[in-house]
Amino acid sequence: MTSIVGLIFIGSVAKNTRPSKPRTRRGTRLVAMFLLAILGMSLWIGYQALDAARSHRRTAEGVLTDYADMAVVEYSRRIEENLGRFNWLLFDDIPRTLRRRAPHPEEMENDLHYAIRDQRCRCEQLREEARLFRVDLESRGVVIAPDTLPTGIPERLSREVVRRAETRPDQRIGVFSLPEGTLLDDPTVVIYKLAGFSDDRGSFAYGLVVAAEAMEELFARWYARGSLLPSSIAGSEPNDSIIQVSVQSSAGFPLFESTLQFPDVAIARDTLTQAFDALVVVAAVRQDAASRLIIGGLPRERIPFLVGLILLTLGLGLAAFLQMRKEHELARLRDDFISSVSHEFRTPLTQIQVFADLLDSGRIETEEKRRWSTGVIKREARRLSHLVSNILHFSPSRQASLHTGVVEPIHLAPAIEEYVDTFLPQAEAQSAEFQTEVDPKLQVLASRPDLHRIVANLLDNALKYGPTGQTIHVRAHGLDGTIRLSVEDQGPGIAREDRRKVFDPYFRLERDTAGRVQGSGIGLALVAEISALLDGQAWVEDGADGGARFVVELPRGLDDVAQAAAREKDG
């Protein structure tokens, strides 16, 4: 009954399934074109999004740079305005006093304190460290108050002041800076005013000299005095939360730096006039403040997102391509399987039909020939039943039907003899013979249907792919806890690179598909899967005569000697 159902199943599949390569190829082209179109569209959308993000970012950075320009212009104006006022208040009384006499630098101390108070700055360091001086531009004599500078420093100060007075005689009020070691040990700032008598009694330069760091508090005061940006932009935000500034002298050393470092964007520079030592003012808008100054803030970099999108699209396309290849491979395997199974079924069916017709027509006259004919029919029927059994057990529901029967200790030697006997007619037809070497004491843990499938598929495989007149060796020996059963043929063998693949479903070697040997490609796959279900394994290796030796390792049952040893140990 099983054979009849299997024949009907195979026949219906072979009848209803036809190769459709042209249609498949057309479908493949359409899917490939569709995937390429999706990939192209994704790349185009990604490029457009990237270009839009970059354009948006450039615009936003341009706006921030404009804000930085506004801030640097405003801060430069404050420096010039306040430093000019500071100088004017410091030297206000000098011209008036020079009408009568040349005042001593000590007389400028009150003016210095008044100029500092006018800036609303405590400036304690400036008050303590500032030294007032008077330089006679003709005799180059210098007077300093308080006179605490080391020897040689006053003369150096006189030379610097005279040199600048001679270089810029119409610049009546000036500021210049000197690097460390030139005048003092630290960077130095000198503020001076050129003035003289109305007659020929000479001209003088009055001023103050102080370490550059003593001026830092003044610059900080001008930085914190009101927003550097219009209120419509900055709102009530303080400068140090939005704008970062620095002031450098013409000699290159810093006079003032706000507390935070400058970002890499939105930087603006301005250089003051020579009257203010050509100070370099740098302003920058903090990048993290862009969200408060620009609607939408500074756009984030979209490249990682777009790269991820493109990679995802490529991944989906690759997955679809691999899936198509897999479907094509499955379709090819299906066609090859149906073709191979059809050929395998055709031979025994033809034999059965021929000898059945001969018996039915009465053409076979002798009893010996009738027995021989019925033997052929039985042999081919068994072969057909074996093929149907393999196909049915390798159906989509095979996992539920592979492992059948009760797992129990089975004496291996009589089971092997029984299975070999069923293949004797097929072996005689090919002039082949079996040689078995199985220890009669061995027992294997398996179910009888499973063991039969394993051995039957290995024997059928050896007869199918071995030459005419070969000797097939069936051996079994015990190991520690396992039994190794091997079936060795004298065929062409299997290359090392194909030994794992032969246990894959539907796989067949190219030499077999191109030759006359027909097969379904599921026999060895069944051997591997059943072995795994029985906690064993299967593999193939080189045979002694150049053929292939298929080995199955299964759990070992306790033989009589082992059982006696176990009982003695337990007792």
Global pTM exceeds 0.85:
no
Domain boundary among 290, 318, 353: 290
Do the domain assignments include residue 54? no
535-559 exposure pattern, b = at least 16 Cβ within 10 A, e = fewer: ebebebeebeeebbbbbbbbbbbeb
Question: Of the ranges 41-45, 96-100, 112-116, which one carries the lowest mean pLDDT score?
Answer: 41-45
Q: Which domain holds residue 448?
A: 397-570
Across 17-31, 322-336, 521-535, which has the greatest mean pLDDT? 521-535
Do the domain assignments include residue 24? no
Nearest in space to 528 (alpha carbons), one of 503, 499, 507, 506: 503
At 555, is the secondary structure helix, strand, or coil? strand
The pLDDT of 520-548, averaged and rounded, is: 87
pLDDT of the residue at 15: 42
> Is residue 448 located within the same domain as residue 565?
yes
Nearest in space to 390 (alpha carbons), one of 404, 402, 403, 407: 402
Average of per-residue pLDDT values in the chain: 80
> Is residue 284 located within the same domain as residue 414?
no
Given a cut of 80, is residue 402 above it in pLDDT? no
> Is residue 267 located within the same domain as residue 405?
no
Nearest in space to 445 (alpha carbons), one of 559, 539, 528, 551: 559
Q: Per-residue confidence at 537, pLDDT binned at 50, 70, 90? A: very high
Do the domain assignments include residue 255? yes
Structural tokens at position 112: 């210095």
The torsion region of residue 349 among left (phi > 0), alpha (psi -120 to 50) and beta comes to alpha
Do the domain assignments include residue 378? no
Rounded Cα–Cα distance for residues 400 and 412 (Å): 26
Do the domain assignments include residue 80? no
pLDDT of the residue at 7: 43
Across 192-201, 386-395, 465-474, which has the greatest mean pLDDT? 465-474
pLDDT of the residue at 407: 87
Rounded Cα–Cα distance for residues 329 and 204 (Å): 102
Rounded Cα–Cα distance for residues 501 and 495 (Å): 10
Domain boundary among 268, 290, 312: 290
The pLDDT of 260-277, averaged and rounded, is: 78
- DSSP code at position 150: P
Beta-ladder partners of 132: 145, 208
Calculate helix-pair angle for 303-361, 21-90, nearest 10 degrees. 170
> Is residue 271 located within the same domain as residue 411?
no
Residues contacting residue 395 through CB under 8 Å, at least 6 positions apart: 401
Nearest in space to 310 (alpha carbons), one of 13, 35, 40: 40
Given a cut of 50, is residue 349 above it in pLDDT? yes
Amino acid at 107: E
Residues contacting residue 545 through CB under 8 Å, at least 6 positions apart: 488, 490
Looking at per-residue pLDDT, the higher value among 19 and 496 belongs to: 496
Q: What are phi and psi of 34, to 5 degrees?
A: -65, -45
> Is residue 138 located within the same domain as residue 253?
yes
The pLDDT of 34-56, averaged and rounded, is: 76
CATH number for the domain that contains residue 546: 3.30.565.10
Do the domain assignments include residue 246? yes
Given a cut of 50, is residue 2 above it in pLDDT? no
Do the domain assignments include residue 48? no
Domain boundary among 265, 290, 315: 290
> Is residue 109 located within the same domain as residue 240?
yes
pLDDT of the residue at 511: 74
Give the percent of the chain with pLDDT over 70: 80
The answer to whether the CB of 451 falls within 8 A of the CB of 509 is no
pLDDT of the residue at 487: 94
Nearest in space to 430 (alpha carbons), one of 406, 459, 404, 403: 459
* Alpha helices, DSSP H, located in 91-152: 94-97, 109-118, 124-129
Do the domain assignments include residue 539? yes
What is the tally of structural domains in the chain?
2
- DSSP code at position 247: E
Q: Count of residues for the chain? A: 571
pLDDT of the residue at 503: 87
pLDDT of the residue at 25: 60
